[in-house]
């Protein structure tokens, strides 16, 4: 629906209205306006308006009679029809769609917001009764209104286009935000990867530094080894020119611990096969020495007892304080273990190499927890090679203790707990077992002597046992030493 804006104009008959788009009243259409005024149907007082219209018509007749006579006749005709219509009072339907315009308490006119079929607006104006009152000019729809209506439609379309563009821009903005988020995540991943790579690089750098340090250490060790090899080469050359051996002499720790750390080197005429050879070379001090058994041909450090019964004894086993665990494997008993100054097992290979060089005797010194000393001496002693499980050969007993060793263990193979021998497993040590033992000097070290299988939840006796000492398997000795020397050894007086 087309709306007519309310604009007030001076409708006094004395003014000559001139209007084109801005002012609709011109000399040409002024009479049409007055005719429309005469045909007003919006008044609620039709008869009064009829009289006013007649008065207005009489006043207007002398004006331009000659020029406007045909138009005046038409106007009077229309005026008559309009008067009849007012008399009949048939203005109800249009009145419902009309609007009243008033100034103070005086009604000036009415207009309808519905356009006619010819594109004009229906306007009804009521002339003022007093000269000082002015009513607004009413005008019909013009091209300007149509123009602005058209412009309004274009603006609406532009607004729709702008809304669509804004929607597209918003969608593009969302896409850009999504891409920014993805780029941020990728950046975080790259940052994390960079941090991980940097951490790995630092680790590699640290390992490189450690490797360099180790390389320098190894270089120093290699240099020292080369120096030692050079010294050994000089010694070998010296020995080749002068037959004999260079032996290390280490004093016993109970004499002087510092001297044990700095052994003396002494040249002897012949390479010592055992401690008796060292004795015959004029060395009469108890301590650690290096021997070269003829069977093995490899230098071996041993503890030499140069005091007991003339000296020359090579110690192959010692128990004295329980500082060394004797529950060991076959390989450990083969190679030897312990400390030459305290508790030790020289090693089955070394015992075999030494005892196979000739006829050897075995001496076993025993001590209980009452400091009582006894010993057993066996005129013949030897041990076979590993292929025969280090089978024992021992006989020719004599001594101050009753024999519990040779008569029961002679010609028995050596066993350890890891070989599947049940006696070795029960006794927790390696020995020449035979259902299981009357003597086991490699058992568990129990302080105080007596022990109980029930109290320690044992399957059988497993202490350092010499059965005839107390006629019991459950008495563990305090100290034991096994040592060998050639059967033909004879002590000599010191030079």
258 vs 419 pLDDT, higher one = 419
- Examine the pLDDT at 191 and tell me if it is beyond 80: yes
Backbone φ and ψ for 155, nearest 5 degrees, come out as -65, -40
- The band of 116, judged by pLDDT with boundaries at 50, 70 and 90, is confident
Q: 239, 261, 240, 237: which is closest to 249 by C-alpha?
A: 261
- Examine the pLDDT at 412 and tell me if it is beyond 50: yes
- Give the list of residues 6+ apart from residue 405 with CB closer than 8 angstroms, or none: 364, 376, 378, 394, 397, 438, 439, 466
Q: Average pLDDT, whole number, for the chain?
A: 76
Specify the pLDDT at position 481.
97
Specify the pLDDT at position 138.
44
The DSSP result for 291-332, as a single string, is E--TTT-S-EEEEEE-SGGGS-EEEEEEESSS-S-----HHH
What does the alpha-carbon distance between residue 98 and residue 114 come to, in Å, rounded to a whole number?
A: 9
What average pLDDT does the segment 361-381 reach?
97
Specify the pLDDT at position 325.
96
What average pLDDT does the segment 71-91 reach?
50
- pLDDT tens figures, 247-256: 555 544 444 4
What does the alpha-carbon distance between residue 104 and residue 110 come to, in Å, rounded to a whole number?
A: 15
Residue 432 half-sphere exposure, CB side, CA atoms within 13 Å?
22
Reported for 59-62, long-range contacts at CB under 8 A and 24+ positions apart, including other chains, are 59/13, 60/34
Dihedral sign computed on CA atoms, order 207, 209, 211, 213: negative
- The band of 74, judged by pLDDT with boundaries at 50, 70 and 90, is low
Q: 271, 248, 274, 441: which is closest to 356 by C-alpha?
A: 274
Specify the pLDDT at position 12.
39
- Examine the pLDDT at 433 and tell me if it is beyond 70: yes
Residue 344 half-sphere exposure, CB side, CA atoms within 13 Å?
21
44 vs 444 pLDDT, higher one = 444
The DSSP result for 151-180, as a single string, is HHHHHHHHHHHHHHHHHHHHHHHHHHHHHH
- pLDDT tens figures, 306-349: 999 999 999 999 999 999 999 999 999 999 999 999 999 999 99
What does the alpha-carbon distance between residue 408 and residue 438 come to, in Å, rounded to a whole number?
A: 7
Q: Residue holding tokens 């104006």?
A: 125
What average pLDDT does the segment 96-105 reach?
40
Q: Residue holding tokens 């009679």?
A: 65
**What six digits make up the tokens of 19?**
């209007």
- pLDDT tens figures, 18-35: 334 344 444 444 444 444
Backbone φ and ψ for 127, nearest 5 degrees, come out as -70, 145
89 vs 427 pLDDT, higher one = 427
What does the alpha-carbon distance between residue 409 and residue 381 come to, in Å, rounded to a whole number?
A: 12
Dihedral, CA of residue 86, residue 90, residue 93 and residue 99, to nearest 10: 20
Q: 319, 277, 272: which is closest to 291 by C-alpha?
A: 272
Specify the pLDDT at position 307.
94
- Examine the pLDDT at 241 and tell me if it is beyond 70: no
**What six digits make up the tokens of 459?**
């399957």
Specify the pLDDT at position 383.
97
- pLDDT tens figures, 121-162: 665 555 555 555 555 444 444 566 677 788 888 899 999 999
- Examine the pLDDT at 171 and tell me if it is beyond 60: yes
Which H helix or E strand runs over 362? strand 360-367
Among 99-108, 295-304, 332-341, name the most confident range: 332-341
Specify the pLDDT at position 140.
42
- The reply to whether omega before 436 is within 30° of 0 (cis) is yes
Specify the pLDDT at position 78.
58
Specify the pLDDT at position 463.
93
User: 462, exposed or middle or buried, with CB in 10 Å at 0-12, 13-18, 19+?
Assistant: buried
What does the alpha-carbon distance between residue 83 and residue 47 come to, in Å, rounded to a whole number?
A: 8
479: helix, coil or strand?
Answer: strand
- The band of 166, judged by pLDDT with boundaries at 50, 70 and 90, is very high
β-bridge partners, 338: 344
Specify the pLDDT at position 454.
76
32: helix, coil or strand?
Answer: helix
**If you ran DSSP here, which 8-state letter would residue 137 be given?**
-
Among 75-79, 83-87, 146-150, 307-311, name the most confident range: 307-311
């Amino acid at each position: 629906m087309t709306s007519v804006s309310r604009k007030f104009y001076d409708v006094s008959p004395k003014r000559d209205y001139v209007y084109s788009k801005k002012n609709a009243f011109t000399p040409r259409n002024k009479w049409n306006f007055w005719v429309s005024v005469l045909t007003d149907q919006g008044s609620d007082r039709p008869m009064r308006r009829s009289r006013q219209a007649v008065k207005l018509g009489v006043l207007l007749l002398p004006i331009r009679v000659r020029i406007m006579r045909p138009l005046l006749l038409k106007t009077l005709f229309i005026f008559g029809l309009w008067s009849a219509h007012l008399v009949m009072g048939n203005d109800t339907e249009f009145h419902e769609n009309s609007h009243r315009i008033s100034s103070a308490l005086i009604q000036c006119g009415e207009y309808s917001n519905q356009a006619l079929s010819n594109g004009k607006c229906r306007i009804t104006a009521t002339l003022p009764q007093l000269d000082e009152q002015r009513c607004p000019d009413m005008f019909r729809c013009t091209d300007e209104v149509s123009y602005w209506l058209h412009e309004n439609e274009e603006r609406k379309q532009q607004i729709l286009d702008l809304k669509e563009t804004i929607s597209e821009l918003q969608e593009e903005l969302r896409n850009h935000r999504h891409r920014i988020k993805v780029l941020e995540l990728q950046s975080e991943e790259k940052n994390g990867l960079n941090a991980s790579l940097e951490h790995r690089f630092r680790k590699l750098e640290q390992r490189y530094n450690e490797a360099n340090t180790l390389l320098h250490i190894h270089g120093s060790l290699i240099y020292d080894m080369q120096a030692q090899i050079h010294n050994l080469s000089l010694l070998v050359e010296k020995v080749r020119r002068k037959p004999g051996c260079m032996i290390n002499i280490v004093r016993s720790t109970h004499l002087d611990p510092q001297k044990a750390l700095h052994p003396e080197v002494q040249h002897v005429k012949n390479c010592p096969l055992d401690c008796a050879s060292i004795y015959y070379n004029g060395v009469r001090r108890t301590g650690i020495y290096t021997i070269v058994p003829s069977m093995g041909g490899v230098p071996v450090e041993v503890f030499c007892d140069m005091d007991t019964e003339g000296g020359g004894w090579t110690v192959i086993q010692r128990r004295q304080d329980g500082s060394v665990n004797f529950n060991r494997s076959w390989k450990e008993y083969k190679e030897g273990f312990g400390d030459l100054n305290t508790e030790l097992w020289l090693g089955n290979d070394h015992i075999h190499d030494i005892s196979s060089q000739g006829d050897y005797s075995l001496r076993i010194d025993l001590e209980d927890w009452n400091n009582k000393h006894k010993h057993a001496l066996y005129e013949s002693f030897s041990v076979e090679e590993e292929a025969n499980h280090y089978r024992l050969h021992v006989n020719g007993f004599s001594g101050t203790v009753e024999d519990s060793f040779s008569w029961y263990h002679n010609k028995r193979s050596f066993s350890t707990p890891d070989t599947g021998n049940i006696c070795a497993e029960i006794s927790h040590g390696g020995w020449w077992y035979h259902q299981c033992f009357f003597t086991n000097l490699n058992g568990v070290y129990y302080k105080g002597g007596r022990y109980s299988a029930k109290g320690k939840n044992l399957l059988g006796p497993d202490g350092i046992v010499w059965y005839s000492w107390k006629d019991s398997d459950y008495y563990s000795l305090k100290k034991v030493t096994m040592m060998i020397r050639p059967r033909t050894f004879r002590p000599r007086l010191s030079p």
